[in-house]
Amino acid sequence: MSRATFEIDAALRTFLAREQRDGAVTVECARAATLKQAIEALGVPHTEIGRLLVNGTPATLSRTVREGDHVEVFAHEPGAAPFEAPLAFIADAHLGGLAHMLRMLGFDTLYDQNFQDRAVVDLGQSEHRVVLTRDRELLKCRDVLRGCYVHALKAEAQLREVAARYPIARQMRPFTLCLHCNAALKPATAEAIIQQVPARIQARYSTFMCCPECRRVYWEGSHWERMRNVLAATLDVPVAEVRSRV
């Protein structure tokens, strides 16, 4: 066994047991345990860790814990969580509202209420997606290379958390994806408009978009304007920034 002391960033202490949240934690670690294993045993998923210092020197999660180590564990700096471009997500079964808002902002976001954990992990890995979840054990899986634990329960607050970790406001392309299918929208054909859009709407609006998968037709009506205001307020950006960019 190796005895080591861990100082956990205040932003990460909610993952710790209550009795460990007030200061440094000294624990016995199994022989040959890595920093990843030791820190996750305390409750902090590796995806939430921004950087590590061991005895004042930068270290990686694969480093072995040694007797007397003093380990400092820091959260990600704002906007500095790792991802692969283009920024894309997969959300677990409890984050439907968040997935909906990310699609609204133009981010490729997979979501299905029937996703099993293994499917979430595999798709995140194979398609280079950020795994969004409220299941901390899922994020401890070594195959989850990019992930974010979502603390909040409301979709708007969840989006603010994700936007604090990733460049959402800089990379968004609002209203370019189908909210149901996640497919890229295309200009609607005259036939689609005639068959699916009420005459009063056709008379009022001139621009329509259609999903090539589910054939839903979208236009910039009152619901679009309400959601535009919600997204702008949530991201703390001017409403003019949240506009269609097809």
pLDDT reported for residue 208: 95
Looking at the fold, whether 26 and 88 belong to one and the same domain comes out as no
Domain with 63, as residue range(s), is 2-75
Name the domain boundary from 145, 173, 201: 173
Q: What are the phi and psi torsion angles at 87 (to 5°)?
A: -65, 120
- How would you class 173 by CB atoms within 10 Å of its CB: exposed for 0-12, middle for 13-18, buried for 19 or more? middle
CATH code for the domain in which residue 39 is found: 3.10.20.30
List the chain pLDDT tens, one digit each, 246 residues: 899 999 999 999 999 999 999 989 999 999 899 999 999 999 999 999 999 999 999 999 999 999 999 999 999 999 999 999 999 999 999 999 999 999 999 999 999 999 999 999 999 999 999 999 999 999 999 999 999 999 999 999 999 999 999 999 999 999 999 999 999 999 999 888 998 999 999 999 989 999 999 999 999 999 999 999 999 999 999 999 998 765
- Separation of alpha carbons 92 and 215, rounded Å: 25
In angstroms, what CA-CA distances link 104 with 161, 227, 230?
16, 9, 11
Name the domain boundary from 152, 173, 194: 173
62 alpha-carbon distance from chain centroid: 24
Q: What are the phi and psi torsion angles at 191 (to 5°)?
A: -65, -45
- Separation of alpha carbons 21 and 40, rounded Å: 15
Residue 152 lies in a domain: yes
Name the domain boundary from 173, 194, 227: 173
Count other C-beta atoms under 10 Å from residue 37's C-beta: 18
